[in-house]
């Protein structure tokens, strides 16, 4: 079997597998928008736009929606490494989230928080302290490198 054909067959298999798992577990995550070490904390609805970019070791809880600005297709959040996103949080639009940020439950994040190691919460979100996500993550990419 030609290598090109094998790649196409494997790509279709993994796309189908992702679809089936997403349907069973309730998530919708496009390929190539999340870096290594992603942790989905619970089975349940999680929606991540294909335009979003999410860094390493992010932990995302149930009910999170990371989407584009209304009426657009490419203006989605860019999220740094080691970010904790609490249950029910909503992030949308062309925003940037720094490294080590903790986002509280049910926060609505519609502006950038580029400072590293802060905790944000509220509707709309604002900085509540400078603790960040330290101690809230299991860094899966570090486990893979052992």
Q: What is the β-pairing status of strands 96-97 and 46-48?
A: unpaired
The answer to the question of residue 7 being in a domain is no
Of 145 and 101, the one with more pLDDT: 101
The answer to the question of residue 108 being in a domain is yes
The answer to the question of residue 90 being in a domain is yes
The answer to the question of residue 5 being in a domain is no
For the stretch 73-93, pLDDT in tens is 889 999 999 999 999 999 999
Q: What b/e string do you get for 54-93 counting C-beta neighbours within 10 Å, with b at 16 or more?
A: bbbbbbbbbbbbbbbbeeeeebbbebbbbbbbbbbbbbbb
The answer to the question of residue 91 being in a domain is yes
* Predicted pLDDT at 57: 92
Domain holding 82: CATH number? 2.160.10.10
* Predicted pLDDT at 79: 97
For the stretch 19-66, pLDDT in tens is 888 888 777 887 788 888 888 888 889 999 989 999 999 999 999 999
């Amino acid at each position: 079997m030609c290598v090109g054909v094998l790649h196409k067959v494997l790509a279709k298999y993994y796309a189908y597998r992702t679809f089936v798992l997403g349907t069973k577990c309730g998530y919708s995550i496009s390929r190539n928008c999340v870096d290594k070490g992603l942790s989905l904390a619970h089975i349940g609805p999680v929606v991540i736009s294909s335009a979003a970019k999410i860094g390493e070791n992010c932990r995302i809880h149930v009910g999170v929606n990371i989407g584009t600005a209304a009426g657009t297709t490419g203006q989605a959040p860019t999220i740094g490494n080691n970010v904790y996103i609490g249950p029910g949080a909503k992030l949308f639009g062309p925003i940037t989230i720094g490294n080590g940020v903790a986002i509280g439950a049910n926060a609505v994040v519609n502006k950038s928080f580029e400072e590293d190691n802060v905790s944000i919460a509220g509707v709309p979100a604002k900085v509540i302290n400078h603790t960040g996500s330290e101690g809230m993550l299991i860094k899966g990419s570090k486990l893979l490198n052992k």
